[in-house]
Amino acid sequence: MFLLILKRLGLGLITIILVSVIIFTGVEVLPGDACTSFLEREAKGELLEICREKLGLNVPAIERYLTWSYNALNGDLGFSLSGQKPISEIISVRIRNSLVLAFTAIIIGIPLAIILGIITALWRDKLPDIFISTIAIFSMTIPEFISATILILVVAIWLNWLPGIVIVSSNTTILELLPNIILPVIAISMVMTAHMLRMVRSNIIQVLSSDYVQMAKLKGVPYWKMVFVHVLPNGLLPAINIIALTIAWLLGGVVVTEVVFNYPGLGRLVIESISDRDLPVVQALALILALIYVGVNLTADLLTLLVNPRLRTLQIRK
Amino acid sequence: MKNTELETIEEKQISTFDRVSEVLIAIFSRPSGMIGFSIVILHIIIAIISPLIVPYDYKEINSLIMLKPPNETFFFGTDQLGRDVFTRTLMGGRIALFVTFFGTIIAIAWGGFVGIFCGLVGGKIDDIVMRIIDAFLAIPWILAMLLIVVILGTSTQVLIPALGFFYGKGIVRVARAATHDVIARDFIMAAKARGHGNFSIIWNELLPNVRDAIMVEGAMRWSWMLLAFSSLSFLGFGVSPPTPDWGLMISEGRGLMSFAYWSVIAPIVALSSLIIGINLSADAFAKALGIDRTQKAPV
């Protein structure tokens, strides 16, 4: 058990290191360097030298990678080029904003997905299932920027209920932020709920056709008792991993949604920093997003191990 | 000797043909499969013949007819530069379909090969490749695509291999898992005992068995690639302005949609219908082949 957790942690660490190498090389092969792209083409001679000196660009790439990762480990992500502020300062505000968005979406999305998933599985191929599943297919396949645009068009422009775009600066308080996040949260939780719902549904259907449920039926266990005691606990266990994967997958989609709604979160920072060629920020963002991905997956793995004792031995045998 | 060889080949051909028609019938017997397939085929036909049938020039700017609502000369109205939205919508899928179609083929080819190979040889090579795949999975697709586009530009010669490479990593995992399912079977042992090399085993024994799983996964990747491609256009990192492209049209028309919704609605319907069509076909395809893919992670 302990060894298993250690192994998972080790694998996560390796992934993070590889990601940092991939991103560093990716940024490294960009034509020009941070200084030439930041100071625009006209930069030459002395100014360029000073900038390179300041950022330490005149040492070999490997050495720079090592110092960068060493500093990142200590929470120092360097300086942004455009804002001339410490990156950790810029990013921490944005992370907070994105977390507000993500948590609200998760709080609404997960219970909704589980309830709808159970309903669709129990009334499989009947009217409620067909209705909910069709809506789910629509909301999970339509690109985020389209569902967001439709939401703005219908709710903000035609019905005039809510403001269409968020116009707050990035460092407002959470309370001021909350009224602005309704539409983005709907856009994000729609996709998330649809994904989770489908997987919860197929898990429960699988459990419903398993031997022990058949056995319970034959023994004459009342239907609802069977559902709550035998089916749901086993059917919802795999949902932990599914939720983790969905959250991690959403990281990409959230970027687009944030841009559409002009929401000052991590996602918009990704686009802004790439448009500005603010390479130190891009590097830092990639590292943080990868950390979130690995962290969420790791937590899910450990949680599953914790609540499902059968897996522990299975995993070791493997 | 020669006779039997001919016979077996003939038998094989008939069985492949039978299987294809069987799968097609299974897809078309489901309403969702039939609708999905028809949508996709319609889109492909429109994309191919649209330059011949569109009423206007897609890049002709006319300031006299800016933002006209739909009428009998301009079926879907005109956009902020006086271009015909109907023409641009019909042609808007051409580049997206072209890029993502070949991207999918590249993804299936390299992902399938690497996945089967890793599943077959196992050991250190497998470990190293899977760690690298894991690392790529941890980078959000949007960040990776943006970096690639910023580094290498947005031409089709860049986007096709870039999308193909990035979306192949998921196929590696599927192909590897499918290979693991059949690797312990007797016929693999038999092939190994006969002294066949790795590549002969991959081509003759493993590929026919994991092909279904790879094809279904490839169909799903196609819709995700389409999503990535149009998201890039929407964000302004994809195809450049005069080109008709749905993502670009939506982002251009978005600012004016409070009084000219038609320039946004047409590309939205077109793009959504194509993506939903691909998804419905992929689902029906999976069910026809007996693969349950709802359990798969959406990565």
Q: What is the CATH number of the domain that holds B180?
A: 1.10.3720.10
Joined tokens for residue B57? 């020039």
Phi-psi region of A45 (alpha: psi -120 to 50; beta: other; left: phi over 0): left
Sign of the C-alpha dihedral computed for residues B39, B44, B45 and B51 taken in this order: positive
Q: CB–CB of B111/B171 below 8 Å?
A: yes
Q: Which residues of A touch B139 (CB under 8 A)?
A: 19, 22-23, 286, 289-290
Q: Which residues of B touch A277 (CB under 8 A)?
A: 150
Architecture in CATH for domain A94-317? Orthogonal Bundle (1.10)
Three-state secondary structure call for residue A86 = strand
Report which of residues B275 and B204 the model is more confident about: B275
Among candidates B135, B258, B294 on the partner chain, residue whose Cβ is nearest the Cβ of A19: B135
Is B214 part of any domain?
yes
User: CB A143 to CB B295 under 8 A?
Assistant: no
Residue identified by tokens 């050495």 is A63
Residue in chain B nearest A20 by alpha carbon: B135
* A114-128, A143-157, B3-17, B127-141, range with the lowest pLDDT: B3-17
Q: What is the pLDDT of residue B299?
A: 34
User: CB B135 to CB A22 under 8 A?
Assistant: yes
Residue (of A16, A214, A216, A177) closest to A94 by Cα position: A177
Q: What is the pLDDT of residue B241?
A: 78
Q: What is the pLDDT of residue B105?
A: 92
Residue in chain A nearest B248 by alpha carbon: A145
Distance CA A213, CA B180 (A): 29
User: CB A201 to CB B275 under 8 A?
Assistant: no
Residue type at A189 in one-letter notation: S
Distance CA A309, CA A123 (A): 30
Residue identified by tokens 């920020």 is A281
Suggest the residue from B137, B151, B180, B230 to mutate for an interface test with chain A (most A CBs closer than 10 A): B137
Three-state secondary structure call for residue A79 = strand
Q: Within its chain, how far is the Cα of A5 from the centroid?
A: 23
Q: Based on the number of CB atoms within 10 Å of its own CB, is A187 exposed (0-12), middle (13-18) or buried (19 or more)?
A: buried
| Angle at A266 (CA atoms; ends A154, A151), nearest 5 degrees | 5
> What is each CA distance from A14 to A19, A84, A160, B132, B134, in whole angstroms?
9, 32, 50, 9, 9
B210-221 pLDDT tens trace: 888 888 888 888
Report which of residues B61 and B127 the model is more confident about: B127
- The residue ranges of chain A whose pLDDT is under 70 are 1, 29-61, 74-84, 164-177, 249-253, 308-318
How many angstroms separate the CA of residue A21 from the nearest CA in chain B? 10
Q: Work out how many domains chain B is built from and give that number.
A: 1
Residue (of A38, A35, A37, A28) closest to A51 by Cα position: A35
What b/e sequence results for B9-27 when a residue is b if at least 16 CB atoms lie within 10 Å of its CB, and e otherwise? Answer: eeeeeeeeeeeeeebeebb
Q: Which residues of B touch A8 (CB under 8 A)?
A: none
Q: CB–CB of A105/A188 below 8 Å?
A: yes
Q: What is the pLDDT of residue B107?
A: 92
How many angstroms separate the CA of residue A38 from the nearest CA in chain B? 14
Q: What is the pLDDT of residue A318?
A: 38
User: CB B230 to CB A16 under 8 A?
Assistant: no
Q: What is the pLDDT of residue A54?
A: 61
How many Cα atoms are found within 13 Å in the side-chain-facing hemisphere of A253? 31
Q: CB–CB of B236/B83 below 8 Å?
A: no
What b/e sequence results for B36-67 when a residue is b if at least 16 CB atoms lie within 10 Å of its CB, and e otherwise? Answer: bbebbeebeebbeebeeebebebeeeeeebeb
Domain ranges of chain A: 22-87, 94-317
The percent of residues above 70 in pLDDT, for chain B, comes to 88
User: CB A201 to CB B146 under 8 A?
Assistant: no
Residue in chain A nearest B145 by alpha carbon: A252
Joined tokens for residue A135? 């809506």
First to last CA, chain B: 50
Q: CB–CB of B238/B232 below 8 Å?
A: yes
Q: What is the pLDDT of residue B37?
A: 87
- Mean pLDDT across chain B: 79
Suggest the residue from B150, B254, B296 to mutate for an interface test with chain A (most A CBs closer than 10 A): B150
Is B176 part of any domain?
yes
User: CB A153 to CB B261 under 8 A?
Assistant: yes
B266-287 pLDDT tens trace: 888 888 889 888 888 888 888 7
How many angstroms separate the CA of residue A220 from the nearest CA in chain B? 30
Residue type at A125 in one-letter notation: D
Joined tokens for residue B128? 């190293």
Q: What is the pLDDT of residue A29?
A: 67
Q: What is the DSSP letter of B84?
A: B
Residue type at B233 in one-letter notation: S
How many angstroms separate the CA of residue A31 from the nearest CA in chain B? 7
User: CB B138 to CB A293 under 8 A?
Assistant: yes
Joined tokens for residue A97? 């904003």
Angle between helices A144-151 and B262-289 (to 10 degrees): 140
Q: Which residues of B touch A23 (CB under 8 A)?
A: 139, 147
Is B272 part of any domain?
yes
| Angle at A256 (CA atoms; ends A151, A241), nearest 5 degrees | 100
Q: Which residues of B touch A160 (CB under 8 A)?
A: none
Find the domain containing B115 and state its range.
80-291
Contact residues of B toward A, CB < 8 A: 131-132, 134-143, 146-147, 150-151, 223, 227, 230-231, 234-235, 237, 247, 250-251, 254, 257-258, 261, 264, 268, 271-272, 275-276, 279-280, 283, 292, 294-295, 297-299
Q: What is the pLDDT of residue B298?
A: 38
Residue type at A241 in one-letter notation: N
pLDDT band at B257 (very low <50, low <70, confident <90, very high): confident
Q: What is the pLDDT of residue B106?
A: 93
Q: CB–CB of A148/A217 below 8 Å?
A: no
How many angstroms separate the CA of residue B24 from the nearest CA in chain A? 22
